[in-house]
Amino acid sequence: MKLSIERGALLKAVSQAQSVVERRNTIPILANVLIEAEGDQAQFRATDLDIEVVDKAPAKVERAGATTVSAVTLHEIVRKLPDGALVTLSDDMTSGRLTVEAGRSHFSLATLPKEDFPVMASSEYSSNYTIPAPVLRRLFDKSKFAISTEETRYYLNGVYLHVADADGAQVLRCVATDGHRLARIDAGLPTGAEGMPGVIVPRKTVGELRKLLDDDEMEIAVSVSETKIRFATPDIILTSKVIDGTFPDYTRVIPTGNTRKLEVDANEFAKAVDRVATVSSERSRAVKLSLEEDRLVLSVNAPDSGAAEEELVVAYGDERLEIGFNAKYLLEIASQVDRENAVFLFNSAGDPTLMREGTDTSAVYVVMPMRV
Amino acid sequence: MTALCRDCLTLFDTGSRCPACRSPRIVAHSELCELSIAHMDCDAFYASVEKRDRPELADKPVIIGGGRRGVVSTACYVARIRGVRSAMPMFQALKLCPDAVVLKPRMALYAEVSKQIRAMMEDLTPAIEPLSLDEAFIDLNGTARLHGAPPAVMLARLVKRMKSELGVTGSIGLSHNKFLAKIASDLDKPNGFAVIGAAETPNFLHDKPVRLIWGVGQATQSSLDAAGIHTFADLLRWDRRDLHDRFGSMGERLWHLARGQDQRRVSARNPVKSISNETTFHTDTADPDLLDGHLWRMAEKVADRAKAKDLAGRVVTLKLKRADHRLITRRTHLPIATQLADKIYHTARTLHETLADKGPFRLLGVGISELVPGAQADLTSDFLDPGAEQRKRAERATDAIRARFGAEAIVKGRSLR
């Protein structure tokens, strides 16, 4: 194999590959990226056995072929090469080394046989559709903060992507929760997505997917089966196993009868929460919300370190209410609001609270209060 | 070189006998009056206490330990001469020493004596860090003027007092840090007094095996072996960064220890880092019902202690030991710290269920760690587990009933399995 490739294109391809590779793994070949050169392109493939990413880049191929080298080492080398450099990769069949050359730099890297590289078995996808990158970005960006890190509840360690019914219309929906907060984000159902099986997309896949979604003009091809999901752009194919478990029935968690309505500027609210929480050094800092007519007082009382209070002018017309929340949870949901005011709907100090953006019900958040 | 008579506590210049009382029990060292960090380790503590109370056992081999799966917990020096060691299985100990007197431990008694020793140490300094009933670090830095005598004299006086008032002997290790003091106390056992000065530290450590380091167990030992590190001299050859890369934070510590450096303070109030409970079964078991019963009892004990100490944990750990003694541990983080037996039990049970290994096991343990104050426990309820709130109230009610009518007043059915 021998190919020449522009440094920028190589860096982009290799950085996606090396981020999929697990830092600590016991199978040497999984630390490697499979490089395949054919026609006028080079293909870079990496996997952790759960996720596989294939990245294509235009290259001048002098001799077709394939080999595998350490993804992290190759990435580090390419990263340190000067911008605009032309990089030549060539393998020497006899020494089993891959030579990397750029300008006056010369590297010789150990390889492992390409035959040992595990290629993810292809799957029969029952559902195929395309969706604009910004839509997919919104679905995952606004829900991923609520993904659980509790390893014992593995079925919560991802975002539940499924087709749901919202006010009589079918929508594409993402839900994530850890039992203390929940995010439910809807988007219009793309053609071809009807009948898509509901799948739990693992946290790591959500992170890798994000790197495909920066281009606003991009259309992402999504393919889903019961066990796998695939996201593809013309250059990159990301295939991932989905979490084998049943996502809990979240619908009963979302309160429908909450009537006490608070409307507040989300940005100001978040800043105030952040400020008052400063006095507490505890990891689960509790912020108390004291509501009365058109007035909200945020307070934190940390017996060991101090107390803080801040008043906000808000729209609130119901009877007095005192309710506590984990400051981090409040900040996270408030920062999801980007266009309009945040609307909170409370019931009592012990019941789940709902938050949405203005009157928009395509993104709702539920957060459990905290004893204060 | 300064010398100290351990019998009459006279300080004098070099000599092989005390000029005042002619005793040969002297300790001499050029830094004797400058060192202030000590480790006191009682000699065969449990056995010594038993022998003190039963003088007829004085010259007999005495082993403390027992139970069907018994191991030796302490062997007196007579038994040790015959090869009996702590942690040795009882049958093996009795093979080596068939005439040994085996006694069941009387922990309450040992705890009482330990308390008396503690009080004697507290007469010297508040900077005491007990490691167990029978050993402690003592920092006497800055007490020379108060006591009118350097630390070495006060330490010799302490063990003398322990012997005369309590009838137990202890060995002292005196050095410039905890790591070396701990090593020193073992050099001259029993009834010893050993000193490791700053000047001699590099030479002293040079050929010593790294397993001398407190905290280097079998696992660390084998990874050190794999790296070709057997002695402190081997360790010295390693670059600080390489050690860190290979062994993480332990590597950093090893680098300092190789140079005889240990900055840890002698601190009386070492915060509790974890609460755990474990039990060894009479016979190995793979019975899920039986294991589940143990799981609940362990979870409840852990929760009881957490509530008593007003602490809660963010991490739940499950520990199982297989019949072949291989240890399996699994841990998980909780989003909200807990002190509830119910939450600890359910979390540990899930960890157990996801385990591929179905036993049989000989030991089961449950623990919590990453502790936070009890005020931060179970603040938010879990909306995906609606029953949890009810079970939490039931547990609080159970606690209240027990506080009033005793621990046996109300128990869960599953704890009877």
Assess whether A329 and A345 both reside in one domain. Answer: yes
Average pLDDT of chain A, as a whole number: 92
As a whole-number percent, the residues of chain B with pLDDT over 70 amount to 98
Assess whether A231 and A266 both reside in one domain. Answer: no
Residues B282-299: what's their mean pLDDT?
Answer: 90
pLDDT tens per residue, range A45-68: 999 999 999 999 999 999 999 999
Contact A182 B383 (CB under 8 A): yes
Identified catalytic residue from B129, B135, B300, B395: B135
Contact B335 A179 (CB under 8 A): yes
pLDDT tens per residue, range A263-277: 999 999 999 999 998
- DSSP class of B165: I
Contact B332 A369 (CB under 8 A): no
Least confident of A147-156, B147-156, B161-170, B246-255: B246-255
pLDDT tens per residue, range B319-355: 999 988 888 999 998 888 999 999 999 999 999 988 8
Domain parsing of chain B, residue ranges: 31-199, 201-258, 274-416
Q: pLDDT tier at B390 (50, 70, 90 boundaries)?
A: confident
Assess whether A216 and A109 both reside in one domain. Answer: no
Average pLDDT of chain B, as a whole number: 88
Task: Name every residue whose Cβ is closer than 8 Å to that of residue B123 and which is 6 or more positions away in sequence.
Answer: none
Residues A218-229: what's their mean pLDDT?
Answer: 95
- DSSP class of A251: G
Let me know: does A240 contact A203? Beta carbons within 8 Å.
Answer: no
Dihedral angle sign, alpha carbons of residues A321, A327, A328, A330: positive
Assess whether A272 and A320 both reside in one domain. Answer: yes
Assess whether A13 and A87 both reside in one domain. Answer: yes
In 3-state terms, what secondary structure has residue B168? coil
Least confident of A74-83, A141-150, B228-237: B228-237
| Fold held by B201-258 | DNA polymerase; domain 1 (1.10.150)
Q: How far is A148 from chain B (nearest CA, A)?
A: 8
Specify the pLDDT at position A68: 94
Assess whether A172 and A285 both reside in one domain. Answer: no
Assess whether A6 and A35 both reside in one domain. Answer: yes
With a cut of 90, say whether residue B218 has pLDDT above it: no
Beta strands B193-195 and B170-175 are parallel
**Number of Cβ within a 10 Å radius of residue B288:** 13
Specify the pLDDT at position B374: 84
In 3-state terms, what secondary structure has residue B208? coil
Structure tokens at B206: 């040079």
Q: Is B207 labelled a binding residue?
A: no
Q: How far apart are the C-alpha atoms of A206 and A204, rounded to whole Å?
A: 5
Tell me which of A116, A148, A178 is where a domain ends. Answer: A116
- The answer to whether residue A271 sits within a structural domain is yes
Q: How far apart are the C-alpha atoms of A311 and B77, rounded to whole Å?
A: 72
Tell me which of A252, A284, A319 is where a domain ends. Answer: A252
Residues from A contacting B (CB-CB < 8 Å) are: 148-153, 156, 177-180, 182, 248, 253, 282-284, 286, 326, 352, 366, 368-371
pLDDT tens per residue, range B48-103: 999 999 999 989 999 998 765 678 889 999 999 999 988 888 888 889 989 989 98
Assess whether A262 and A246 both reside in one domain. Answer: no
- The answer to whether residue A155 sits within a structural domain is yes
Assess whether A205 and A321 both reside in one domain. Answer: no
Q: Is B7 labelled a binding residue?
A: no
For residue B291, give the H/E element and its range. helix B288-308
Let me know: does B414 contact B346? Beta carbons within 8 Å.
Answer: no
Specify the pLDDT at position B14: 79
With a cut of 90, say whether residue A306 has pLDDT above it: no
Let me know: does A226 contact A197? Beta carbons within 8 Å.
Answer: yes
- The answer to whether residue A122 sits within a structural domain is no
Specify the pLDDT at position B269: 66
Assess whether A212 and A309 both reside in one domain. Answer: no
Kindly provide the ipTM of the predicted complex, given to two decimals: 0.74
Domain B31-199 belongs to what architecture?
A: 2-Layer Sandwich (3.30)
Assess whether A297 and A239 both reside in one domain. Answer: no
- What is the CATH classification number for the domain harbouring A344? 3.10.150.10
Is the CB of B382 inside 8 Å of chain A's CB atoms? yes
With a cut of 90, say whether residue B373 has pLDDT above it: no
Residue B131 or A11, more confident: A11
pLDDT tens per residue, range A226-277: 999 999 999 999 999 999 999 999 998 999 999 999 999 999 999 999 999 8
Q: How far apart are the C-alpha atoms of A311 and A296, rounded to whole Å?
A: 6
Residues B243-258: what's their mean pLDDT?
Answer: 85
Tell me which of A64, A92, A116 is where a domain ends. Answer: A116
Assess whether A18 and A96 both reside in one domain. Answer: yes
Q: pLDDT tier at B385 (50, 70, 90 boundaries)?
A: confident
Q: How far is B102 from chain A (nearest CA, A)?
A: 45
**Testing the interface with A: which of B379, B382, B393 to mutate, by most A Cβ within 10 A?**
B379
The beta-carbon neighbor of A179 closest among B350, B376, B385 is: B385
Specify the pLDDT at position A152: 84
| Fold held by B274-416 | Dna Ligase; domain 1 (3.30.1490)
Count of structural domains, chain A: 3
Q: How far apart are the C-alpha atoms of A64 and A1, rounded to whole Å?
A: 5
Q: How far is B1 from chain A (nearest CA, A)?
A: 51
With a cut of 90, say whether residue A86 has pLDDT above it: yes
Provide the domain limits for residue A47.
2-116
- The answer to whether residue A121 sits within a structural domain is no
